[in-house]
Amino acid sequence: METSIAMARLAVADGTTHLACTPHIYPGVYANSTATIAPALQTLQAELDALDIPLTLVMGADVHMVPEVMEGLKKGRIPTLHGSRYFLLEPSHHVPVPHFLAQIENFLNAGYVPILTHPERLRWLDEHYDDFIQAARIGAWLQITAGAITGNFGPSAKKRTERLLSDGVVHIIASDAHSIDHRPPIMSGGVTEAIRLLRDEAEVIRMVKERPQAILDNAEPDLLPAPLGLGYSLPILLAGKFTKKSWFNRLFN
């Protein structure tokens, strides 16, 4: 509890008003569930309220991409974010996920929007980059980590975040906080760097405010502005030859 309160104070000091609590769910490894996460979140929220720490907690989980996920979602054992259609989905770090796009399509067809977490840290991203772009094109969201943008996860992860940002396929920037010191709940450095890289503050604001709010509102994703690069054909996007246009021009040109 002491660590959680300290992390909450850090998040608030950095400008965060809402924070999703998303422990890992991985059958046989991380045995979390809606039934265990909900009461823990309620206890922590009550403690924050008692201490006048102005932070609203949101329930969710970082769900490892395994065959049991769909059933867990449908039966309520695996929580979505704030009870919405959106949920965090973590692919394997070291090897490609079998039938990756087919699984993504299955979630979408069932009415869920999978948010693929920290693709920049996946060792197989570079060789399967087009699969992630295609996943985003058919309706999945991509979420990168603020610390990776600033180089806290090493040069390879930083380079991949820069590619994803430059290609205009990122939906969300998150803290992916795990501790006070090693991976604190700090967003500001990554946000500043993303604005410097993109030269588009409005789009970065969508990544850290507007789309997260849309998740809380359980908004229909098709009604939201897409990331800037998803209006381009896959070959152009992969070749890195697209020119940024306004949202209006991308709709009508």
Q: What is the DSSP string of 99-140?
A: THHHHHHHHHHTT-EEEEE-GGG-TTTGGGHHHHHHHHHHT-
* Tokens (6 digits) for 6: 């300290």
| Predicted TM-score (pTM) above 0.95 | no
Average pLDDT, the chain: 92
Q: Is residue 68 in some structural domain?
A: yes
Q: How far is it, in rounded angstroms, from Cα 8 to Cα 143?
A: 21
What average pLDDT does range 35-53 have in this prediction? 98
Q: Is residue 23 in some structural domain?
A: yes
Q: Is residue 213 in some structural domain?
A: yes
**Are 150 and 194 within 8 A, CB to CB?**
no
Q: Is residue 193 in some structural domain?
A: yes
Q: Is residue 64 in some structural domain?
A: yes
Q: Which domain holds residue 57?
A: 2-248
* Tokens (6 digits) for 119: 């693709």
Q: Is residue 253 in some structural domain?
A: no
Question: Would the pLDDT of 174 be above 50?
Answer: yes
In this structure, the number of other CB atoms found within 10 A of the CB of residue 196 comes to: 11
User: CA dihedral defined by 130, 120, 136, 205, rounded to 10 degrees?
Assistant: -140
Q: What is the CATH number of the domain that holds 65?
A: 3.20.20.140
Question: Would the pLDDT of 247 be above 80?
Answer: no
Write the pLDDT tens digit of every residue in 56-111.
999 999 999 999 999 999 999 999 999 999 999 999 999 999 999 999 999 999 99
Q: Is residue 93 in some structural domain?
A: yes
Please give the tally of structural domains in the chain: 1
What average pLDDT does range 112-134 have in this prediction? 98
Q: Is residue 121 in some structural domain?
A: yes
